[in-house]
Amino acid sequence: MTKIKSLHAREILDSRGNPTLEAEVRLASGAFGRAAVPSGASTGSREAIELRDGDPKRFLGRGVQGAVNNVNGTIARALAGFDVADQEVLDRRLIELDGSPNKGRLGANALLGVSLAAAHAMAAHRGQALWQRLAEIAGTGETPQLPVPMMNIINGGAHADNSVDMQEFMIVPWGRESFAEALRCAVEIFHTLKSVLKKRGLSTAVGDEGGFAPDLPSNEAAIEVILEAIEKSGYRAGQDVSLALDTASSEFFRDGRYHLESEGKSYEPDAFAEYLAGWVRQYPIVSVEDGMAEDDWDGWATLTRLVGDRCQLVGDDLYVTNTEIFRRGIELGITNSILIKLNQIGTLTETLEAIAMAKAAGYSAVISHRSGETEDTTIADLAVATTATQIKTGSLCRSDRVAKYNQLLRIEEALGPRGSFAGRGAFSHIRNWS
């Protein structure tokens, strides 16, 4: 009854108007699962390969019909009658079918779509919520926890067409009693920030992830304007809500230096690490993602030495959800957290392995969206199922972002007293975090 009866993929559009892949799995029992694959703007060079057609006459080269054909052809034939009850066996078969070190033959987008759709179908077969099925696969049991959201309310870098070099300036409403209250806090700050920007005559247009994208005189000005919005909303920075950054430093690391074009400055790695450390000391910043470039391991070591005991340091481009690379970081003692993006590695099983590795090492795992998203809400269930304690899925507008928050609200309501909110405990892995 849990064997694959049919498998189908199609092209759909993501939140940036680019094609992406959606997969559907139907089981012999009639149970059905569907999943859509996200896509990134700033991508790590070691990510699994997202297969694009490259035909300039079709979607300007961004089509994914080749990946769709791989699902409907090679993968569908190989998985006909395959039992999806064991997710790991299914995913290992997908990896074997691709046969390349980076999933570049069939495409990580093809493999991930099938992997996730199968999990959805199995949940439907058992009459489970998706998070319950994912918890079974992950081995976390019936101990769900609502994650602390990290909301990107000012966009810069590759996510916006403005003067800000750094990619994401986030609020972290960790001091509330429930996810619903954390979301309300963030919404109020978001709308207050819009008013603050308007009064300054600044743009309130939004970037890829729904955050505002104003032209500001410096990167630090983004922090200052958010702090003003927090205060005017009636919340206490550092207590009710803190700040987080995704500097996406690989995007402005060239010739061994970090170039902040909006400020007309460039820094040697040690100096840039000290620059960021100065912010952590001055402002209520609880997390910095991609503070150093993906190839600057020495720079990461410096940043970790400077503030790793008082701030979450998240590796995204550095680790690309890859356990082999992540293991090296753990052994070197750099960072204290990993960003988890399903499409960086290409299967659900490998994603769960990265989360498990983080927990075993005393690192946190932050479940994340991509800048090119869809209405798919799988990552919301993943965050609850794995008790990852943190989720990063954009700002408080654009339905592709809000869909994940709404799913978390539904899960919290359904769980009732069984579902706790991670709150400040999400950052307890940082020795001097308070």
Write the DSSP symbol of residue 375.
S
- Decide: 173 and 179 in contact? Cβ < 8 Å: no
Rounded (5°) CA angle 61-70-34: 95
**Contact criterion met (CB below 8 Å) for 425 and 147:** no
Rounded to whole angstroms, the Cα distance separating 192 from 204 reads 12
Cα distances from 101 to residues 47, 108, 259, in angstroms, run 11, 11, 33
Q: In the numeric block, which tokens belong to residue 65?
A: 């019909």
Torsion of CA 353, 73, 96, 326, to 10 degrees: -30
Sign of CA dihedral 47, 371, 250, 148: negative
> 33: which strand partners?
25
Q: Which of 103, 194, 341, 404 is catalytic?
A: 341
3 among known catalytic residues:
no
As a dihedral over the C-alpha atoms of residue 382, residue 385, residue 388, residue 392, rounded to 10 degrees, the angle is: 30
**Nearby residues of 417 by Cβ (< 8 Å), 6 or more positions away:** none
Residue 354 exposed, middle or buried by CB count within 10 Å (0-12, 13-18, 19+): buried
* H helix intervals, 283-366: 297-307, 323-332, 342-345, 348-361
Report residue 183 as tokens.
Answer: 């979301």
Report the Cα–Cα distance between both ends of the chain, in Å, rounded.
51
Active site residue 274: no
Among 22, 168, 209, 373, the one annotated catalytic: 209
Of 71, 6, 62, nearest in space to 346 by CA = 71
CA torsion, points 404, 406, 408, 412, in degrees to nearest 10? 180
C-alpha–C-alpha distance, residues 373 and 299, integer Å: 31
State the catalytic residues: 209, 341
